[in-house]
Structure 1
Amino acid sequence: MKVVQSTEIIYSVYECGRRYIICLERKICNCGRFQLDEIPCAHAFAVLKKKNIIDIHPYCSDYYKSTALANTYEVPMVPMPDKED
């Protein structure tokens, strides 16, 4: 993939004759995967690699972070009574 910077936050990525527009600040790519999955798509990863950004956590949804998993099980679960009762 060839990465071309358009502005400070907007990049064009060329892959197999197609152009993809990525905005890292708004976390969007016109392929739609960045918005749908809420994690960087392959085109966004190409931009992050070109910018030498190693920490991708700011570009991922909180749902993928370990704190979200911990918060899921933070509330105590009360067992259901037996169906006979």
Structure 2
Amino acid sequence: MSGAAANISDTRIGVIVVDGIGLGAAVHRISEAVRATISSGVATADVGGLSSTSEFAETVLARTLRRARPSSQFDRP
């Protein structure tokens, strides 16, 4: 396979493997963070954006960690 079909196939296989070792929730959080980041306008040139790879990755990481961390009564609003 080549091109987009290979990428989709490889991605599906990766998701199956990661889910199989118990990391499905983490994959879901990261996927949602990627979607939300792109939707917010932070995207790299390969998907039509103007952000740097570092800016994109930092934003995805921040969103992922925010969703992963349980809220606490001590969290600031």
In the superposition, the TM-score normalised over structure 2's length comes to: 0.30
The structure with more radius of gyration: 1
Compare the two structures and name the one with the higher helix fraction: 2
Asked which structure has the greater RCO (Cα within 8 Å, sep 6+), the reply is 2
Compare the two structures and name the one with the higher strand fraction: 1
